[in-house]
Amino acid sequence: MMSNRGADNSADDVIVVDADDQPLGTMGKLLAHQRGVRHRAISVIVRDRHNRLLLQQRSAEKYHSGGLWTNTCCSHPRPGEDTREAAGRRLKQEMGFTCPLTHLFTTHYRADVPGGLIEDEVVHVFGGRFDGLPDPDPSEVADWCWRTPDELARDIDAQPERYTVWFREYLRRFWPAMTGA
């Protein structure tokens, strides 16, 4: 068991940002989601040598969107933490591996999420390649799978409610960057 696995990050502060992603201060993560305050976030999308995407099903214990399928991992950088470093840290904590990460895109979205919360995030999305078996932290991840872009597109079209709102937004707006299409 890795020492940083299972670490409770629910009390972490997030970086509150303006429309240009300039820091304005910090706020508790849950409070930012309760109030719908714009803050910085990170997401990681990992593919293997066959161009399959590594998805995770969020643990039912997550404070929102539990049980939904999403990209490989997502979280928030800590105050003073570089976004790429945060992405690598969370990839290791959530999925149990590391790989080189490349910035794919930055996007902003605002949406209601389960639990009566609001996501208003400027998200720095990173991509990586990994061909091994993940070793996810069960307090973060209920399940995982590799999906081809075609399988993923068909399933999201048929059952969008099974996927997180942010992942559906990434797919809608950035499909080629995410899938190598």
74 is an active site residue: yes
How far is the C-alpha of 176 from the C-alpha of 171, rounded, in Å? 9
- Which ranges in 16-57 belong to alpha helices (H)? 29-35
State the sign of the Cα–Cα–Cα–Cα dihedral 89, 10, 126, 130: positive
How far is the C-alpha of 141 from the C-alpha of 72, rounded, in Å? 10
How far is the C-alpha of 120 from the C-alpha of 130, rounded, in Å? 30
Instruction: Given the residues 94, 119, 121, 140, select the one marked as catalytic.
Output: 121
Instruction: Given the residues 73, 74, 94, 140, select the one marked as catalytic.
Output: 74
85 is an active site residue: no
User: What residues are labeled active site?
Assistant: 74, 121
